[in-house]
Structure 1
């Protein structure tokens, strides 16, 4: 197994750790070889009630040439995740202030949504994208996972 080199996050660089319900914005108050990630903002999505409370229990039906077909129901949880990710991406510019370097850590599906929703300025300063869910880990574990320290 080949060991990957530790990620070097510049001084005052930001790390966005997100999933579909929670996002952490961390700033490196240390230096690339001696990182010190500090929480700058924590964002949580609004509660999303169970699907049974958000719609009908049977999918709607339509008639197509004498036959009836069911229509796939809208996944309200998926829509809520996509809205949250878009809000985080748009708000990151305001939340983090001037960012010289950005590392984005998220599960693959959320990472793709963040990539599409990010303003161009943040895309240019993104130095790494890591496809893992680290939102349930502590800041020290995130730092150890990213920087090897």
Structure 2
């Protein structure tokens, strides 16, 4: 990938459990990403500890009773963490700190982030990368994004 992240541009790298807010202290040719903030999702216990009831049943007028799908508590927690990440990005934006923003997240999380962006943040998005890079060190993230 050959992105050019400008000086003081931000890179938000997140997945369903961790979000890193990185700022480029270098220039567009030689990025030097510095960690500004890291957010971790709350502990998400097993589904057996979160929901105790069986999935509901629905009585159909002309057909036999059918079951409804159970709640996926982990998926709900992942979506909430993505919304919390956008809320944190909005706070950073209100403080006037980021310039251009590069979003890096797996496709499902990136979709939730996109849905929750306001127009001001959306106008600052330089690029969206649908990869999970949260387990990579910052220098490796910079290298993978810019090809440097």
Give the TM-score normalised by structure 2.
0.91
Alignment: residue pair count: 145
Report what 1:139 is aligned to: 138
Structural mapping, 1:98-117, within 5 Å: 98=96, 99-117=98-116
CA distance in 1, matches of 2:31, 2:51: 47
Please point out which of 56, 66, 71 is paired with 1:60.
Answer: 56
CA distance in 1, matches of 2:7, 2:127: 15
CA-CA distance at 1:58 after TM superposition: 3.0
CA distance in 1, matches of 2:47, 2:130: 27
SS in 1 for 2:59: strand
Cα deviations across residues 47-100 of structure 1 (Å, max 9, x unaligned)? Answer: 010111111363222322372211111111111111111111122121354221
CA-CA distance at 1:103 after TM superposition: 0.3
Question: Could you tell me whether the CA contact under 8 Å between 1:13 and 1:101 is conserved in 2?
Answer: yes
CA distance in 1, matches of 2:100, 2:58: 51
Q: After the TM superposition, which parts of structure 1 deviate over 3 Å for at least 4 consecutive aligned residues?
A: none
Which consecutive unaligned segments of at least 5 residues does structure 2 have?
Answer: none
Report what 1:81 is aligned to: 78
Which consecutive unaligned segments of at least 5 residues does structure 1 have?
Answer: none
Please point out which of 14, 18, 25 is paired with 2:14.
Answer: 18
CA distance in 2, matches of 1:148, 1:38: 18
Give the TM-score normalised by structure 1.
0.91
SS in 2 for 1:64: coil
CA-CA distance at 1:17 after TM superposition: 0.4
